[in-house]
Amino acid sequence: MYPMLRDFLVTEDAVFSVISYVHPEDGFLALMRYVKDPEGDRIRRPTGERYRKVSFEESFEILRERHPEYVRKVRGDFYDQVVPPEDVVEHLHPRDRMERILEEPRDDLEEMAARAVLELAEDSGVPESRFGVTGSLLPELHDPAESDLDLVVYGVQEFLAVRDAILRIQETGEGRDLLRALDYDQWERVYRRRSPELDFEEFLRHELRKGNRVVIGDRVCDVLLVRDESELSDVRWEEFETVEENVRLVCEVLDDSLAFDYPARWRVEAVESDTEEGYEVTEVRSYTHTYVGQAFEGEVIEVSGKLERERNSGELIAIVGSSREAEGEWIRVLKDQR
């Protein structure tokens, strides 16, 4: 089966998360998340083999040393990790894993995942079959006592229905059973982990509108969108060239329908621009989860990032999250419509 966004791929010595709906002809766009290590602190339950989690930078260092053919420029002036199909020994699907968890949860974290899905499904009207689980729970490299949850909802409308259910929980502080809103300390922990360019109060102001995080038991649960296969007619292979390394724009959001996708996307009209040539930017994208769902239609936003031109269409796109840390890059709402 063709790998979808948020699937995981297992090779002989590493575990990768899939980062795209579309791939080059000779491999799959993915990011190494775990590497096999006899001294690693994570034991993969199906095999008993030890792994450790790696950072974004370390994943590239390891691949350049062990598998330099994986590290390539396939979409533009930046390096991607491309996993050859012949090196994939397992293809892990979030929905299949969630189905097994619902049938028979085997530890505390799996029990929490099952309870979260059952409650969100009932509150939103979205069938349990539209949910999946990604993150460390998908390859069974989680710590039952410490790991947080990453749930997947398949389909834009299904995701929005679940989001509405979470926003209702935020209004009351808690759900019918185990689900509840994040408290101040939990938001502070999220802020420290994400380490955005915004100060904490501004970060929290944006986050409380999103409805894509909830607490189950004592764990923070991120809820992520993956578009259904029937919703991918607009997805095509893209290649980029850098126009300006640093650009700051003020834009009005014209369309927010893919604000929770990956990458998050907004169709915009630039109001102000500091680009030297006065380029007409038509889209803003975020490749970092920090700014997913950051703005909505009709709002005026400030964007700091990189300006790229898509080579096939010629469109100019402001990119936020051009590096893992997104230093000096942000999206903030200046005029709130909600």
Residue 77 pLDDT level (bands cut at 50, 70, 90): confident
Query: Which of 129, 170, 176 is closest to 153 using CA atoms?
Result: 129
pLDDT of 336: 67
Tokens of 212: 């894509």
pTM: 0.94
Residues of each domain in the chain carrying CATH 2.40.50.140: 240-335
Asked whether the predicted pLDDT for residue 63 surpasses 60, the reply is yes
Alpha helices in 176-223 (DSSP H): 184-194, 200-207
Asked whether the predicted pLDDT for residue 335 surpasses 80, the reply is no
Sign of the torsion formed by the C-alpha atoms of 110, 116, 118 and 121:
negative
100-139 pLDDT, tens digit each: 999 999 999 999 999 999 999 999 999 999 999 999 999 9
Q: State the pairing for strand pair 240-258/42-43.
A: unpaired
- Cβ neighbors of 157 (< 8 A, separation 6 or more) are none
CA pair distance 265, 256, nearest whole angstrom = 7
Average pLDDT for residues 288-310, to the nearest whole number? 95
Residue 172 pLDDT level (bands cut at 50, 70, 90): confident
Place of tokens 């994986």: 70
Query: Which of 245, 153, 203, 179 is closest to 332 using CA atoms?
Result: 203
End-to-end alpha carbon distance in the chain? 41
CATH of region 240-335: 2.40.50.140
Distances in Å between the alpha carbon of 205 and those of 163, 221, 223? 17, 19, 18
Sign of the torsion formed by the C-alpha atoms of 251, 255, 261 and 262:
negative
pLDDT of 2: 87
3 state DSSP class of 209: coil
Average pLDDT for residues 282-286, to the nearest whole number? 96
Which class for 18: exposed (0-12), middle (13-18), buried (19 or more C-beta within 10 A)? buried
Question: What type of residue sits at position 191?
Answer: Y
Average pLDDT for residues 34-45, to the nearest whole number? 96
Tokens of 309: 């031109």
Average pLDDT, the chain: 93
CA pair distance 190, 181, nearest whole angstrom = 13
Average pLDDT for residues 50-56, to the nearest whole number? 96
CA pair distance 242, 301, nearest whole angstrom = 22
CB 295 within 8 A of CB 264: no
